[in-house]
């Protein structure tokens, strides 16, 4: 029997297995919900106030049609050059995908490590160990200053911009799509990371994209594999299904043109004619096949390594054989061209009669024979 909810006088109890709520319990439940909502809103307001206080003193360093760059220090030539380079990258990205948001994103360069830690406080664990992050609450990007980051600064900025870009276009886009787009289109998939992906696909071919669609892996050691698998999933979406990729972004552009965000699952199913689960299964099989490429790459690497070791021995052996070979006899010197006039010269054609135009037409001999044709 399904649980029934009845309103009774105070003091009533559940009888005969039927769950009964009193009026007092009902009022208490509403008060508890209101308290939770108040605490949640209060916490959000407190975080916003704390963030606002931390951002006091920031000034605009440079602006573009796509972003505003903020910092506490005076803008340098390096900052302006970086901002212009980022604007070019963003323009290329928007042209590639065919969607052009009109709003700008705010980017804050955080110089102090302690200040960055305060801004990332309360976020996911992966944010605290990051060089930059996009805050959906503030709709802004926070990045450490260049002296704190060893990796490519421009690629990190573009990575975080793509997170903001996707938030402007989609509703409930899965995390693997976020990180895959940001990693792949920011150019952070180098050859070394591609080899790492191939190796992981061979050792552990099972993909976890669908299971961790909206959460990062719990184990920190699995984070690099998650980023690589996500980037390869986006690459698989684009390169192996080019027509579906174009149709997918056409749907996104149509919704954005109407001033709306599109639900990711709706755009995906309509563009690719398949469900996310089926795509996950197909990509898992593709990743497994890609893993075998690692064996080929590893074998080629072993061959080249063996050749590099063998080459000095081959060169030494060749030198020993050249030493044991006898010396060639000396060739006598040829006469100078200046003395060529003193050397008698006999032409091989000296006995051949000269052929002139007059000999082309022969006169008939005295016996009346016809002349022969010459070719």
Cα Rg, the chain, nearest whole Å: 40
Distance CA 248, CA 262 (A): 11
In 3-state terms, what secondary structure has residue 53?
helix
Distance CA 348, CA 184 (A): 76
| pLDDT for res 219 | 79
Could you tell me whether strands 59-63 and 262-263 are parallel, antiparallel, or unpaired per DSSP bridges? unpaired
| pLDDT for res 179 | 93
**138 vs 186, 276, 341, CA distance in Å?**
22, 30, 97
| pLDDT for res 119 | 86
DSSP state of 104: -
| pLDDT for res 35 | 57
| pLDDT for res 373 | 46
Distance CA 310, CA 304 (A): 10
Which of the following CATH numbers is that of domain 43-170: 3.40.30.160, 1.10.510.10, 3.30.300.180, 3.30.1330.10? 3.40.30.160
Distance CA 228, CA 205 (A): 13
Among the listed residues 175, 140, 176, the one whose alpha carbon sits nearest the alpha carbon of residue 160: 140
Residue 95, phi then psi, degrees to nearest 5:
-65, -40
Distance CA 176, CA 125 (A): 17
Distance CA 260, CA 293 (A): 42
| pLDDT for res 227 | 86
Among the listed residues 178, 176, 180, the one whose alpha carbon sits nearest the alpha carbon of residue 168: 178
What is the value of pTM for the model shown?
Answer: 0.66
Give 227-284 as a DSSP string: HHHHHHHHHHHHHS-HHHHHHHHHHHHHHHHTT--EEHHHHHHHHHSS-HHHHHHHHH
333 Rama sector, left if φ>0, alpha if ψ -120 to 50, beta otherwise: beta
| pLDDT for res 127 | 82
| pLDDT for res 285 | 83
DSSP state of 372: P
| pLDDT for res 175 | 92
| pLDDT for res 266 | 96
| pLDDT for res 91 | 97
Domain boundaries, given as residue ranges, for the chain: 43-170, 172-319
Helix 242-257 × helix 153-169 angle, to 10°: 60
| pLDDT for res 252 | 98
| pLDDT for res 59 | 93
| pLDDT for res 140 | 95
Among the listed residues 224, 221, 241, 338, the one whose alpha carbon sits nearest the alpha carbon of residue 283: 241
| pLDDT for res 214 | 73
- Residues in the chain with pLDDT < 70? 1-56, 191-213, 291-302, 304-306, 327-328, 330-375
Among the listed residues 156, 171, 187, 288, the one whose alpha carbon sits nearest the alpha carbon of residue 229: 288
| pLDDT for res 87 | 97
Distance CA 109, CA 132 (A): 9
Neighbours of 168 (CB within 10 A): 14
| pLDDT for res 144 | 95
Q: With contact defined as beta carbons under 8 Å apart, do 67 and 107 qualify?
A: yes
Q: With contact defined as beta carbons under 8 Å apart, do 110 and 70 qualify?
A: no
In 3-state terms, what secondary structure has residue 74?
coil
Distance CA 186, CA 161 (A): 9
Residue 133, phi then psi, degrees to nearest 5:
-155, 155
Strand partners, 22: 8
């Amino acid at each position: 029997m399904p649980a029934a909810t009845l309103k009774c006088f105070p003091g009533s109890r559940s009888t005969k297995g039927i769950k009964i709520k009193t009026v007092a319990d009902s009022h208490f439940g509403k008060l508890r919900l209101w308290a939770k909502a108040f605490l949640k809103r209060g916490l959000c307001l407190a975080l916003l106030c704390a963030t606002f206080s931390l951002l006091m003193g920031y000034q605009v360093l440079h602006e573009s049609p796509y972003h505003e760059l903020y910092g506490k220090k005076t803008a340098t030539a390096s900052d302006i050059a970086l901002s212009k380079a980022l604007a070019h990258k963003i323009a290329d990205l928007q042209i590639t995908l065919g969607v052009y948001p009109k709003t700008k994103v705010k980017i804050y360069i955080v110089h102090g490590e302690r200040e960055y830690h305060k801004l990332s406080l309360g976020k996911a664990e992966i944010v605290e160990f990051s060089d930059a992050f996009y805050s959906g609450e503030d709709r802004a990007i926070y990045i450490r200053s260049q002296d704190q980051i060893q990796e490519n600064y421009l690629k990190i900025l573009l990575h975080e911009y793509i997170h903001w870009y996707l938030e402007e276009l989609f509703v409930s886009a899965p995390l693997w799509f976020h990180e895959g787009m940001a990693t792949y289109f920011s150019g952070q998939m180098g050859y070394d990371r591609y080899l790492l992906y191939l190796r992981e696909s061979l050792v552990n071919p099972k993909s976890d994209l669908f299971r961790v669609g909206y959460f990062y892996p719990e184990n920190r050691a699995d984070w690099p594999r998650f980023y690589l698998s996500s980037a390869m999933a986006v690459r698989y979406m684009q390169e192996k299904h080019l027509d579906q990729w174009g149709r997918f972004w056409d749907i996104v552009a149509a919704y954005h043109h109407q001033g709306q965000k599109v639900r990711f699952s709706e755009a995906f199913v309509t563009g690719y004619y398949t469900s996310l689960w089926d795509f996950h299964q197909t990509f898992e099989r593709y990743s497994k096949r890609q893993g075998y490429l690692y064996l080929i790459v590893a074998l080629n690497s072993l061959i080249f390594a063996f050749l590099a070791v063998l080459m000095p021995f081959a060169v030494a052996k060749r030198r020993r054989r050249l030493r044991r070979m006898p010396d060639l006899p000396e060739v006598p010197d040829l006469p100078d061209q200046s003395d060529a006039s003193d050397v008698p010269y006999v032409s091989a054609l000296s006995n051949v009669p000269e052929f002139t135009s007059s000999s082309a037409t022969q006169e008939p001999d005295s016996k009346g024979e016809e002349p022969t044709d010459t070719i």
